[in-house]
Chains A and B, each alone.
Chain A
Amino acid sequence: MIHKSLLKWFGIFLVATAFNSCKKDKPKEDTNIPPVATGAFNLLFKNTVGDSALVLETSEYKNANGDTFTISTFNYYISNVKLIADDNSVYTESESYHLLSAFNDNTLKIPLKNVPFKKYISISFMIGVDSVKNVTGIQVGDLDPAKGMFWNWNTGYIMAKFEGYSSKSPEVDKTVLYHVGGFSGSNSVLKTVGLDFPTAMTVSETESPKLKVKADVLEWFTSPQNISFSSLYVIHAPGADAKKMADNFADMFSIITN
């Protein structure tokens, strides 16, 4: 009898242990079903140098100052993406933080989801990561510091990063390195871009528009200020140089119409 009851208890124990170790959370039900009919709107970024597609490492380019260069890294954050409809309503992407990298074409595609069926006339987004995400501690996804776009010693995201080589650089290895960041006060490099669509783009049951946006590296080096690789060749902290570069690249985006 003793053995029997022991056996029974161990049986219960065994089953309980097994159940405990296999316990899994029930899948969460999606309670955020959109109240209005929505569809998709696809953003496609294309990195260019002037009119030609950006090619890392192997292609040589020339900036407005006449300095030749090659590109080894070209990364930037896009955040707070908004679409403006013809009735002035605004679609705001949730958790809208995207790291776009010339290393990976997949990062250049941003599918906007749950976009209400409407006719859209313009888009706006921020170049960089808004200040809130710079001051609220460790983040995930594209904002993971392991992505290499974060200053560990001076908290904040590198909003945009250009690295390459130019014979004009005074550095021994001819490096040109621009890590542009700064989110607060007079050091902020955050820029909001607004682009009007040439023709309205409709999201409907049958229409999922594709918007192609060009990002032209050459804009980093001209207007309002021409950049000479012999005088400005390293930026790795917030400050005047980073702001100068951000003022330049604020207009690097344009809509590709063809």
Chain B
Amino acid sequence: MKAKNKIAALMMVLSLTLFFFQCSKDPQIPSPQVTGVTFTVPHGWPQPVYNFEENTLTDAGFNLGRRLFYEKKLSRDGTISCGSCHQQFAAFANAAHARSHGIDGQFGKRNAPALFNLNWQSSFMWDGGINHITVQPLAPINDSLEMDGNMNDVIAFLSADASYRKMFKETFGDETVTTQRVLKAFAQFLGMLVSSNSKYDRIQRGEAGYAFTADEEIGKSLFNQRCASCHTPPLFSNFSYRNIGLEPNVALQDSGRMRISESVQDMHRYKMPSLRNVEVSSPYMHDGRFKTLDKAIDYHINKPYYMSNIDPVILNGQALSADEIQSIISFLNTLTDNTFIHDTRFSDPLYK
């Protein structure tokens, strides 16, 4: 009996050891892992442009994408991750940076945009140069002013890291790291960044206990008359390219949409940003020139800089008074989604 007990104990220890070895966690492995990942189109919203076609959304894929988003080693010198310039508390914009610092302390040319509801967008970047969510991360990873990396190095790094190989296996069935797999995982994380739980949304859904204040109502009415043709609900952008009369910063040599279309008509046109979470995603405009919302509204509505292709809505629009602007801001503040900016599923997995 005693010998048997010993064998039993030994077997238990052995099997437990084996079990833990199989699931052994490299110190790099993020924790906690997100489970139950599902994508839902919010009530009353249009169908998304991208719905994870040929990229089945899974917990493993989302967790891999989440870790990649915060992985600094995707950059040339291991100092910059996507999350460096896209900060969750700023709705994944870069708070307090007109133009983001990239590698070697270099400034980019434009203001890092907020990231949410990306599955509803058919083009990305201020100039719309990128046409699919699954190729979007290639731009900042490769840009010499941003992460200055390249996919061959990225693949080599990920392939050499046991904890990543494990995540690739969990996601794709084997450990092979390819460009396509990296980007599919990225798209799972990015596509899941849905912001639809602002006060505005709760009121739209008729949730008990939520109502606009009198000032917000005034702002909403003004917004619908003056802003909604371009910043169209429910996404609060129609994603068109417009020249809104911002005096060009000559030093930046930025022609906007024209860089992509090569059409003079697109000179200084930029993609309409969504106004969701605008309260927390300061600074504003493609070059981050305005720190406050009242300035951002005042300048592009009341003090446009004339250019031949300035948008008629801007050129012919009536001025807004300071009070009207404040009311509009009150309404815009109802678009802040605190659930989204505090959602731990989207935070850096290496930090709590």
Contact = CB atoms under 8 A, between A and B. Distances in A.
Interface string A96-125: 000000000000000000000000000000
A164 interface: no
Given A14-B18, A138-B180, A6 B12 contact: yes
A197 to B, nearest CB: 37
B183 A138 contact: yes
Given A7-B11, A137-B133, A153 B143 contact: yes
A236 B351 CA distance: 41
A155 B133 CA distance: 11
A135 B151 contact: no
Interface stretch (A42-50, A139-147, A165-173, A247-255): A139-147
Nearest to A182: B262
Contacts of A150: 135, 138
Given A10-B11, A137-B132, A146-B151, A3 B143 contact: no
A11 interface: yes
Given A138-B180, A187-B262, A10 B15 contact: yes
Given A138-B135, A144-B178, A154 B18 contact: no
B292 interface: no
Interface in B247-299: 259-260, 262
Nearest to A184: B131
A100 B55 CA distance: 29
Interface residues of A, number: 31
Contact of B262 (A13, A140, A237): A237
A11 to B, nearest CB: 7
A152 to B, nearest CB: 4
Contacts of A21: 22
A131 B184 CA distance: 21
Interface string B176-190: 001110011001000
Contacts of A187: 262
A239 interface: yes
A136 B260 contact: no
A3 B7 CA distance: 10
A9 to B, nearest CB: 10
B211 to A, nearest CB: 42
B5 A3 contact: yes
Contacts of B152: 146
A239 B179 CA distance: 28
Contact of A146 (B11, B19, B129, B155): B155
A241 to B, nearest CB: 10
Interface centre among A13, A146, A238 (most CB of B within 10 A): A146
A25 B174 CA distance: 11
Contacts of A94: none
B232 interface: no
Contacts of B183: 137-138
A21 B12 CA distance: 19
Contact of A152 (B5, B138, B262): B138
B11 A137 contact: no
A17 interface: yes
B198 interface: no
B298 to A, nearest CB: 32
Contact of A138 (B14, B142, B150, B184): B184
B43 interface: no
Contact of B131 (A11, A17, A144, A155): A155
Interface in A1-39: 3-4, 6-7, 10-11, 13-14, 17, 21, 25
Interface centre among A14, A153, A239 (most CB of B within 10 A): A153
Given A3-B4, A152-B138, A238 B262 contact: yes
For the complex of A and B, the 8 pairs showing the least CB-CB separation, nearest first, are A137-B134, A146-B151, A137-B132, A138-B134, A152-B138, A138-B183, A154-B129, A155-B131
19 contacts: A3-B5, A7-B12, A11-B15, A14-B15, A135-B131, A137-B132, A138-B134, A138-B183, A139-B180, A145-B135, A145-B138, A145-B151, A152-B130, A152-B139, A152-B143, A153-B130, A154-B260, A155-B130, A237-B262
